[in-house]
Amino acid sequence: MSSSFSDSFSDGTRSVHAGLPAPVVGEPFLPGPVFAAPYHLDPMTGPGENGYARTEHPTRRALEAAIASLEGAPTLVFASGQAAITALLLAVLRTGDTVALPADGYFTVRAFAEGTLRDLGVKTILVPTAGPYPDFTGVRLVLLETPANPGLDVCDVTAVSAAAHEAGALVAVDNTTATPLGQTPLALGADLVVASGTKALTGHSDVLLGYVSASDPELLAKVETWRKQTGAVPGAFDSWLAHRSIATLDLRLARQSANAAAVAELLLSRSDVTGVRWPGLPTDPSYPVASAQMRRVPGIVSFDLGSAERAGRFLSAAKLVFAATSFGGVHTTADRRAQWGDDTSPGFLRFSCGIEDTADLLADITTALDASS
């Protein structure tokens, strides 16, 4: 898809047509996955467009074109979100560098920094997503995660990027929670985008996927070299499933966001629920920045039921809420983050709204909350 096509249509149309090849009579809209590791080579000149699947693959290229048209920059896909973010960190950072990470972001990234990056001589500073932000002098890379997972704080990407660039630092934004239809960090001033496509981007809880996008070809080349040499690529069928799923992204996000708005209002009305967070609520601390920066707020709500036991009773009583980790899928799920080692209270739940009928979901939540009390 050309950038002119991508820029001239709305999100729903862009999602449906993202990365599709030009029409060919007798061919499907989205060609099926190509199952190949090696390809035929020219005996004299070697590889053409495809030589070996770790470095070139047509199904993977089509997916990358689709995500690139949504994020607004060339994209590389990876076998998982964690593979993508570690590739970015290890491709950009060197011994003696300092990286600023979100103190309230995905905990596995902090664990990676406190282990592997520390052993490689990279210093880490932790900064809350909502700030305050330090002077970035001497920092090589600032990684933002906004909205943060799982607490849902939001930061001003444009302001933080300007401050980081003034100090000579690069800025990467984890766009997992928002998706490129919620915000486009590169247009807000960031240098790189990294995300887990496992979540809302693909949205059917059946694919592991990650990606990195960047407008600077030198930056992206470093990440691509890392991927070639480590082999952290998704398989053909996963790439095809992901591309197929992106077509419904706009529709899924619309229902998930509407459900989240209704769920957040319901939870706020109950005296037995505390700590309700959803950046789309006018009363939410993140609302001023989120409403100015984001095109839509994702379908994730967080709240606290006071204890692990009550959270367990709530999940056991709910019929439409699956107890499961991850988020962004078409089925509503909830996840007690403390069980995974997240720095959250025992009764804290990350609640991911699916695409169920809103009235059914609210009724089920109400019944389950009543039963859990």
| DSSP structure string for 212-263 | EEES-HHHHHHHHHHHHHHT----HHHHHHHHHHHTTHHHHHHHHHHHHHHH
pLDDT at res. 46: 84
- pLDDT at 4 exceeding the cut of 80: no
Residues 74 and 90 in one domain: yes
Calculate the average pLDDT of the chain. Answer: 96
The answer for residues whose C-beta is within 8 angstroms of residue 366's C-beta and 6 or more apart is: 266
Q: What is the CATH number of the domain that holds 63?
A: 3.40.640.10
pLDDT class for 341, splitting at 50, 70, 90?
A: confident
- Percent pLDDT > 90 in the chain is 95
Q: Where are the alpha helices (DSSP H) in 135-216?
A: 157-166
Residues 151 and 172 in one domain: yes
Of 5-14, 66-75, 180-189, the least confident: 5-14
Residues 29 and 165 in one domain: yes
- pLDDT at 241 exceeding the cut of 50: yes
Residues 271 and 229 in one domain: no
Q: Which two tokens stand for residue 90?
A: 């290890």
- pLDDT at 22 exceeding the cut of 60: yes
Residues 189 and 261 in one domain: no
Residues 275 and 236 in one domain: no
Residues 333 and 241 in one domain: no
Average pLDDT over residues 348-359: 98
pLDDT class for 6, splitting at 50, 70, 90?
A: low
CA separation for the pair 74, 81 (Å, rounded): 17
- pLDDT at 360 exceeding the cut of 70: yes
pLDDT at res. 48: 86
pLDDT at res. 340: 87
CB atoms within 10 A of CB 309: 12
Domain count within the chain = 2
Average pLDDT over residues 225-244: 97
Task: Indicate the pairing of strand 333-336 with strand 348-352.
Answer: antiparallel
Q: Please state the separation of Cα 110 from the chain's center in Å.
A: 16
Full residue range of the structural domain in which residue 364 is found: 249-372
Residues 241 and 321 in one domain: no
Q: What is the per-residue pLDDT across 274-315, written as a single tens digit (0 to 9) for each?
A: 999 999 999 999 999 999 999 999 999 999 999 999 999 999
pLDDT at res. 2: 40
pLDDT at res. 343: 84
Average pLDDT over residues 141-147: 98
Residues 257 and 276 in one domain: yes
Domain final position from 223, 246, 269? 246
* Angle of CA points 168, 157, 96, to nearest 5°: 35
- pLDDT at 3 exceeding the cut of 50: no
Residues 190 and 269 in one domain: no
- pLDDT at 7 exceeding the cut of 80: no
CA separation for the pair 134, 348 (Å, rounded): 29
- pLDDT at 190 exceeding the cut of 70: yes
- pLDDT at 65 exceeding the cut of 50: yes
pLDDT class for 5, splitting at 50, 70, 90?
A: low
CA separation for the pair 67, 78 (Å, rounded): 12
Domain final position from 217, 246, 275? 246
pLDDT at res. 145: 98
Average pLDDT over residues 80-86: 98
- Percent pLDDT > 70 in the chain is 98
Distances (CA, A) of 185 to 75, 159, 179: 14, 12, 10
The answer for residues whose C-beta is within 8 angstroms of residue 215's C-beta and 6 or more apart is: 72, 73, 74, 186, 191
Domain final position from 231, 246, 261? 246
Q: What is the CATH number of the domain that holds 316?
A: 3.90.1150.10
Residues 238 and 254 in one domain: no
- pLDDT at 225 exceeding the cut of 70: yes
Residues 220 and 306 in one domain: no
